Amino acid sequence: MSQWLGHIVRLVVSAIVLMLISSLIPGFASLTFGTALVAAVVITVLGWLVEAILGHGVSPYARGIVGFLVSAVVIYATSFIVPGMTITVAGALLAAFVIGLVDMFVPTTLR
């Protein structure tokens, strides 16, 4: 049960981060909480698929330029799947950068 709670907390935190980023970054339309929550789920699923197909080294959560670019592509692709989410390529790159910075300082795994 606590594992599910951990996943739910991560999704809610991810949605809040997406909402904040969408209101700060040019080229990224502001998101409502519901849209951000759906986007967080889609980003998680797409990230998992990329990792399953190409390996852990290209994960959107991996360090380095490859992880950064994959993250930007995943964020941009999400805008085609989630209604109400619009983002430019430049906005996706900026969002991937900011999310990468947040991910460096905020632990994403529960201990």
CB 79 within 8 A of CB 89: no
CB 68 within 8 A of CB 97: yes
CA 81, CA 42: separation in Å to the nearest integer? Answer: 8
Query: Exposed (0-12), middle (13-18) or buried (19+): which is 40, by Cβ within 10 Å?
Result: buried
Instruction: Report the pLDDT value the prediction gives residue 110, as an integer from 0 to 100.
Output: 42
Mean local confidence (pLDDT), 11-28 = 86
> Roughly what angle, to the nearest 10 degrees, separates helices 2-24 and 89-105?
130
Instruction: Report the pLDDT value the prediction gives residue 57, as an integer from 0 to 100.
Output: 61
Contacts of 19 (CB under 8 A, 6+ apart): 30, 31, 32, 33, 36
- 34 token code pair: 């519901």
pTM of the entire predicted model = 0.80
- State in Å, rounded, how far the first CA of the chain is from the last one: 15
Instruction: Report the pLDDT value the prediction gives residue 111, as an integer from 0 to 100.
Output: 37
**Domain residue extents for the chain:** 2-105
CB 42 within 8 A of CB 82: yes
Compare 93 and 50 and report the one with higher pLDDT. 93
Strands annotated E in the chain: none
Instruction: Report the pLDDT value the prediction gives residue 38, as an integer from 0 to 100.
Output: 93
* Residue 66 confidence class, pLDDT cut points 50, 70, 90: confident
Mean local confidence (pLDDT), 81-89 = 92
Instruction: Report the pLDDT value the prediction gives residue 7, as an integer from 0 to 100.
Output: 73
Mean local confidence (pLDDT), 44-61 = 73
